[in-house]
Amino acid sequence: FEAKQIEVFGEMALKGYIYKGLKPVYWCPHDETALAEAEIEYAEDPCDSIYVKFRVTDDKGLFTAKGADLAHTYFVIWTTTTWTLPANVAICVGPQFEYSLVRSGDEWFVMASALYESAMKEAGKTEYEVVATFKGAELEYMKTAHPFLDRTSLVIVGDHVTLESGTGCVHTAPGHGVEDFEVCHNHYPDLPVVVPVDSRGRMTAEAGGQFAGLTTDEANGAILRHLKETGALFAVKHIVHQYPHCWRCKHPVLFRATEQWFCSVDAIKDKTIEEIDKVRWIPAWGRDRIASMVRERKDWCISRQRLWGVPIPIFYCKKCGAPLIAREAFAAVSQLFGKEGSDAWFRRPAEEILPEGTVCPKCGGREFTKERDVMDVWFDSGCSHAAVLTSRPDQHWPADLYLEGNDQHRGWFQSSLLTSVAWKGKAPYKAVLTHGMVIDLEGRKMSKSLGNGIAPAEVISRYGADVLRLWVASSDYQSDVRISNEILKQLSDAYR
């Protein structure tokens, strides 16, 4: 299995679908590893929704021409992740949206015209007037002062800005947000990617000395207090929102820019959706669900910082640091894993794994080190079609049918599809049948952690095998199926 997985990875890498890059990814500070979207669960978390003032230092002459005093003129941003403020390098506005310069007392505030009234209400300000309006594009390249760090926050424009909530002035921290990173990377490459949070979720000295060493939770409170004390806080409201959590440890995760290995989903997206249409989906709505997920999916982070797993079979030149992407190297690793298993990667030095005479194509170096990261387990399972169907003489590829629960459109169904299209240009299955999950009376999935499972042997002992059979026969497999002692008792009474 592992040998075939390396073969699939190697083919994808040789085709240019695998790359290493610095990007914000889901990061679990409890487990100290990157996570993929399929490893994320959402749960309600309380947080502070805050509005923060960024003082204007360069208005290109626009605000002062309307009578504003720059010493008291501010862009107002909104965020629910207070701990990311030390990573702020810019404020993003929508180029086509209208923005208002609003005066209240001896202060001037810049916010989207469609949102300033709700923001002023949150701040408890009732006496104010609109002095002037501007298109977002006119505000580009204005400069503001970071509220507590010696840093300029540049005003930039981006199409991802919406008028659904906040102020229309988006707090931009490319080290901790995917859209933030993309707009800065693609259009403002000179802006730094600041990541003032370490692998354990603690603030570094880059966040400011007073916050260094604090967890992100502790930093939320400390930064909020500092903003209040310095007058940089415009408004605050306590809310509950849906926040991503790690599927393994159940702790909150964060977005954090780190060097990771990725599969380029964008490069195979069109072909993947084309293949989806060739598959029979049972029920039919499965087609739209997985197509929507693939269409919206960002590049797949496939590297993990764990001590166990199938290693990423990449060697680095000691002389120039370049990764070795070579068919002979992948073949050598695949053959080794076929004989000794993937643990051989950790036991053997690079020179014992690589073919004799291997040289770096960039600089001619002959000494190499090994990658320490391992692969996402969804990449492991996503290679099962290759490992099983192409390795056994009694099987054929692609599979006639994939059968799993309705949570696998973002899991096994999708990871198998992506690796298969990248590897062979085709879907790994002819048909996919999705069934519902067994849930308890409250609609929760059966799980060990919740302790809400009901063992079949327990049901048979209490009600008899026929009642269990009746429950199965009367259930619609396409939907989630409820089971509880109350439901079984009702069936038992009806059966009698």
Residue 192 CA to residue 175 CA, distance in Å, equals: 9
Tell which residue, 100, 191, 94, 179, has the closest CA to residue 140: 94
Helix (H, G, I), strand (E, B) or coil at 111: strand
For residue 341, is it left (φ>0), alpha (ψ between -120 and 50) or beta?
left
Q: What is the pLDDT of residue 478?
A: 86
pLDDT for 44: 84
In degrees and rounded to multiples of 5, residue 428 shows phi and psi of: -85, 0
Rounded to an integer, what distance in angstroms lies between the CA atom of residue 158 and that of residue 301?
A: 24
Q: What is the pTM of this model?
A: 0.79
With left for phi above 0 and alpha for psi between -120 and 50, is residue 124 left, alpha or beta? Answer: left
Sketch out the chain's domains with CATH numbers: 2-37+257-424 (3.40.50.620), 43-245 (3.90.740.10), 440-495 (no CATH)
Q: Give the CA distances from residue 196 to residues 49, 71, 203, 268, in Å, rounded to whole numbers and listed in that order.
A: 21, 28, 6, 34
**Hey, what long-range contacts does 213-222 have (CB within 8 A, 24 or more apart)?**
215/29, 216/29, 216/83, 216/254, 217/83, 219/82, 219/83, 219/86, 220/47, 220/48, 220/82, 220/83
The answer to whether residues 68 and 134 touch, using CB atoms and an 8 Å cutoff, is: no
Residue 83 near residue 253 (C-beta atoms within 8 A): no
Residues in the chain: 496
Do 448 and 455 meet the contact criterion of CB atoms below 8 Å apart?
A: no
Say which amino acid occupies 346: F
Residue numbers in the chain where pLDDT is lower than 70: none
Alpha carbon distance 168, 254 (integer Å): 23
Distances (CA, A) of 149 to 93, 226, 230: 22, 12, 12
Cβ atoms within 10 Å, residue 337: 24
Tens digit of each residue's pLDDT (9 = 90 or more) over 282-328: 999 999 999 999 999 989 999 998 888 999 999 999 999 999 999 99
How many helices (H) and strands (E) the chain has is answered by 16, 24
Look at residue 456 and give its three-state secondary structure.
Answer: helix
What are 233's two structure tokens? 């806080």
Cβ-contact 441, 482 below 8 angstroms:
yes
- Kindly state the tokens that stand for 66: 């309307």
